Chain A
Amino acid sequence: MSANPTLVVDDIHTYYGESYVLQGVSLKVEPGTIAAVLGRNGVGKTTLIRSVIAFTPPRRGKIVFENQDITRWTSYRIAQAGMGLVPQGRRIFISLSVRENLEIARRAATGGNEGWTIDSVLDLFPRLRERMRNSAGTLSGGEQQMLAVARALVGNGRLLLMDEPTEGLSPHVVEELRQLIRRLRDGGMAILLVEQNINFAIESADYVYVMDKGKIVFDGLPSDLAANNDVKETYLGV
């Protein structure tokens, strides 16, 4: 892989109609690293993810993925180019069986290796294997989150966008998730992780950003943030 960042977000400005949400956000995700974006509810973290995948394209600014300018691309082309999405609220397809959720998301990996298959993600989440024929709507919250992660993995992207994956999970499942994303990272995956759970982000990430009112107000190593009580108190309420 190139030494250039996997993802560069360069001064993007994103609106919902007249509502001006992202007011010049810049960040980077390096290959094989986890970058976390922290911030209170409503500061624009989900809007950042929506901007990157072009659900809500930014009106100004630039987004570069693996040296390609994807700013004007449509969502499905961006995803095809190698981005996986684990959205806030899971958004699994409840009319589909668990298997169908995975089948429609499956895309072969690029560069020769097989990548994630339905079988190999099921080894990762054995509980899903028992539920393959069930309607995805009948899964528990934790199982739905597993399915949302598994669905993103079988797409075999090289960048994973994760929007509050720990939301509503028990501490035990959160710990499993932490180990999983570290393992994915060690396998070479770049991850943009959006979180409200500060400890989770500090423990998992290689680099952290703090967001407030549509702007990045802090960036640094997780240890810098852990030591910076000012930022934590002002922007994260701890």
Chain B
Amino acid sequence: MVKDEKPSNKIRSNYFGLTFNSPIILLSGCVGFGDEYTRVDGYSNSDVGGICLKGTTLDERLGNNAQRIYETSDGMINAIGLQNPGADYVIDNILPSLNFNETNFIANISGASVDEYVAIVKKFDNSNINALEINISCPNVKEGGVHFGNDYEMTSKIVSECRKNTKKPLIIKLSPNQSNIGMSAQKCIDAGADGLSVINTISAMSIDIKSRKPVLDNINGGLSGPAIKPIALLKVFEAYQISKKYNIPIIGQGGIINYKDAIEFILAGASLVGLGTAMFYDPLICPKINDELVKYIEFNEIKNIKDLIGNLN
């Protein structure tokens, strides 16, 4: 269902030359390749500022064996293992079916080597995608992923090589599984990043005490949802201490399920806010959060949501 009415301009903002009608970004891996939620009556992609597509690799990946997800206290662990049909398929078959008038679409790119990242970036650079998010923080694959994100030298290399090969906005998705996220942010910015996504899921596991086996076939997975919010918030705050010097926007994420969470992330330094796990709970949550954000802004007599970014007393 396409709604005529766009969210209020009080929550509209511009970054990387793109207009975001709402600060809400739907997060990679939670909303398929951009139109899965349109199955839900009342849902519209135009209620969000952007949608990150599922992590895409050069070649098709089957992903991990079941069981892939597990509910934990106030969160969930997933080990999908980057199931995706490969970059060519996404570009040739999926992008043409998306309605780019409704929102911005952001590709999420994963590789097992610098060469793979570069090859995918080149492919998307020739497409109509609005921006690229480089995932150097996936906890669920054996090669690359989070290991790259924890290695500053590797981080610099991936970002600078990707930068050389695209003019599209380049957002780097950082891992919380590192002690100095500020340093990581600095390396990304120095190497040419236009934005940062903070944070990806946190490495975690669950054990079934009856079978005495790990619940997930992959053993480890990524923890998401409200359980990780306080950690995510601090990581955004820390990354912002660096990014604000360069005016680099942050997509704050990790456990946001209502407008209060969103405001907290914005106050910690996020320009845009990501929702993933919350969509599983309530697929119609975005317009509700938009409305509440507008109310909050009006009540506090603020002109635009941008004025709240990092605006802690």
A binds B: no
> Chain A interface (Cβ within 8 Å of chain B)?
none
